[in-house]
Amino acid sequence: MGILDLRTIVLSHLATGLMCALVIGCLWGQYRKRYAGLSFWLADFVLQFAAALLLGLRGQIPDWMSMVLANTLTLTGAFLGYVGLERFVGQISRQWHNYTLLVVFVVVHSYFSMVEPNLTARELNVSAGLFLLCFQCLWLMLWRVNPDLRRITGGVGLVFGAFCLVSLTRIPVLLAHPHTTDDYFKSGLVAGLFLMAYQLILILLSFGLVLLVNGRLRLELQSQEQKYAAAFHSSPYAITLTRLSDGRILEANEGFVNLTGYQRSEVVGKTTFDIHLWSREEDRGTVLNELIQGRLVREREFPFRKKSGESVLCQFSAALLSISGEPWVLSSISDLSERKRVEAGKEKLEVQNRQLHKSESLGRMAGAIAHHFNNQLQAVMGYLELAIKDLPRASEQPVEFVTEALRSARKAGEVSSLMLTYLGQTRGEREPLDLSVACRQSLSLLHAVMPQNLALETELPSSGALIHANANEIQQVLTNLVTNAWEAYSGAGGAVRLTVKTVSVGEIPATHRFPIDCKLHDHAYACLEVADEGCGIPDQDIEKIFDPFFSSKFTGRGLGLSVVLGIVRSYHGVITVASQPGRGSLFRVFFPVLAAAVPQKPVQVTQAPKGAAGGPVARPAQSGTVLVVEDEQAVRHTVALSLKRLGFTVLTAKDGIEAVEVFRQHRDEIRCVLCDLTMPRMSGWETLTALRQLAPGIRVILSSGYSEAQVMEGNHPALPQAFLSKPYEFEALADAMARVLANEKASDNGLQDS
């Protein structure tokens, strides 16, 4: 048997097929989970080996196995190899035409093997089938594949081109020199040469597929490197790669340049010691020890030094990497300045929201307490006044006791009034007022109440900014602020400084500004400053000092600053506080300045009579019927007794619905209605509207524990002739009745004599 004997060539082909199958098997074992299609490649080479084995056993096994089955396995293997290549490059297509090709091949091969044996026809059939399948592989590798992969698939494409060339060359050779025998092993030298060519190309294909997988891995590695490089250099964080042993910087990104101020060329090749990156070198030692121990460093806060020398607090993370067997540190540094600013802003907003919610709650509570308190005080003061009038003048001691009780009740009423002032419900009439002049005219009163060991230093211009204010309320603001200042000295000597000036809205401090929800719109503000060098206010107490009854000085005190805040709130102004414990405090009150100068009346600081609705009115003897509408039985009773003392006949009703019914029955008798505002079933406003519908000219006085300003807010279809703020005294009631009935025939459409 010679070297080119066909059986020898088939045996070498069998050995070659086994070797190639083992190579592809190793490839499949390593990358089958990473890449699709490798199982089809392995099936291809296994079938090629099986086909060579069946071919080598010709003469020892049935002809249909060595002819039909062997060549069918060869073509099927080629088909599976094509399917595997499609899956590998992600270009999957339908295979109906190849299924048809396999069926036609099997039919033709069976015919020329079993029906009309013809070796030439069978080899032509194999050559044509291989050409068609290998050409599809060639087209896939060189044209159909994604352009990104084409540079690594070209080699395999050329191998399939060789397959096509050999198959295409074999066809004309067979046509020109057909076999004269049906025994393949006697077909001659040419058949052996073509088999050797297929064998060589199969070896090239197996190694080409190995190179194809390696190329794919290389592309993916390059892609990953590009992605990591892009992520590294485009990250907003400062990222560095430094050698563990000496801190030498191998690479730094743009984020590092932006954070530190160094250019990349200034740091690459340098150590962190050279550029003094760590503000504290012991921090670097701590990080290195943790990394060497195998621990990750995550989101730790360290100060770092910029090129300018500025220290900046940063968040630091690091991990240990191995590059060429040498340990390196991959670090990420992010500037915490912006985050700290955001956190501080968020914390400030939370404080403001908390303060605002607390202010709203205190407001609701203060308003409700003042209303109910005033109602009860109305009954107490009414009974006390009636008792004084009924006590014999000879019994001095009982009269004195009751008078003192009435005086205490009046003081309690003042506290209730201060609670309403805290809500911004002030009652004084306002007019253009020079703040500097108003303060100067209050100096004598301030000197009188201040301790002798304290000095009052003033800086008051002769003519200051005009504001729209009430002189008594400005005096109240000034007195409370100065009192708060001298109390801060706790009996020690010192000075309180009082200053008035005009500032722009931009000069108003943004911190510790009250009320929290204030909105500054005006361009200029009149500023009243009161400063001391006393004990100061702890920072945690500043947001509480305007709460009603909060005080760090005396238990039960603390309405002074609450009243100041209420008055300033009603003026749409603002208060700021600056203080340091042990160094004193500075209170600034800002009032909107009037846009245009207005002729100013002389400032007169006077105390209006409690409950009086205007100037004194002569009171002739009264008569007629008055309807008292009040849901509190005690108040209803005392008011009725007081009106009877004034000479009136009194009808009563416990709510608005009952009042309307009583009015219908006594319409011609009733001269005036005294009606409470807050009642069940029907409010005072609803009662007033219903009564005016029955008698448009009926005189009505509204009364309430709330302030007149709060009661009169909004639009109402009908208005009363007068308003009495509870608790009111007998004289205030008598004056209101006299005023309302003084000109009973006049037609009034609005609130009068208020």
Same-domain check for residues 300 and 396: no
Do residues 552 and 698 share a domain?
A: no
In a shared domain, residues 88 and 122: yes
From 203, 225, 247, give the residue that closes a domain.
225
| CA–CA gap between residue 143 and residue 586 (Å, rounded) | 83
Q: Is residue 615 part of a domain?
A: no
Angstrom distance (rounded) from CA 379 to CA 367: 19
Mark whether 55 and 146 lie in a shared domain: yes
Domain end, chosen from 156, 190, 225, is at 225
Q: Give me the torsion for CA of 611, 616, 621, 622, rounded to 10°.
A: -40
Q: Is residue 123 part of a domain?
A: yes
Domain that holds residue 388: 355-415
Extract the residue ranges of the chain whose pLDDT is less than 50: 1-2, 554-556, 598-617, 746-754
Residues 317 and 445 in one domain: no
pLDDT score, position 727: 83
Q: Quick one: pLDDT at residue 605?
A: 37
Contacts of 256 (CB under 8 A, 6+ apart): 238, 239, 240, 262, 264, 267, 333
Do 359 and 318 sit in the same domain of this protein? no
Q: Is residue 610 part of a domain?
A: no
Any domain includes 751: no
Please tell me whether residues 73 and 154 are part of one structural domain: yes
Helices assigned H by DSSP within 60-118: 63, 70-89, 96-110
CATH number for the domain harbouring residue 704: 3.40.50.2300
Residue 588 sits in the same domain as residue 638: no
Do 211 and 62 fall into the same domain? yes
Domain boundary among 574, 592, 610: 592
Q: Is there a single domain that holds both residue 115 and residue 214?
A: yes
Q: Is the pTM of this model over 0.75?
A: no
Give the per-residue pLDDT at 52: 86
SS3 681: coil
Domains in the chain, number: 5
Asked whether residue 614 is domain-assigned, the answer is: no
Look at residue 617 and tell me if it is in a domain: no
Yes or no: say if 23 and 210 are a contact pair by the CB < 8 Å rule: yes
Closest by Cα among 168, 669, 709 to 424: 709
List C-alpha distances in Å: 227 to 223, 256, 726. 6, 19, 78
Per residue, the 3-state secondary structure of 425-480, as one string, reads CCCCCCEEEEHHHHHHHCHHHHHHHCCCCEEEEEECCCCCCEEEECHHHHHHHHHH
SS (H, E, C) 217-282: HHHHHHHHHHHHHHHHHHCCCEEEEEECCCCEEEEECHHHHHHHCCCHHHHCCCECCCCCCECCHH
Do residues 469 and 584 both lie within one domain? yes
Q: Would you state the pLDDT for residue 225?
A: 74
Contact partners, residue 746, CB within 8 Å, separation at least 6 = none
Q: What is the CATH number of the domain that holds 577?
A: 3.30.565.10
Q: Tell me: do 406 and 436 sit in the same domain.
A: no
Task: Tell me the two tokens of residue 4.
Answer: 């080119």
| CATH number of the domain residue 288 falls in | 3.30.450.20
Confidence (pLDDT) at 295: 82
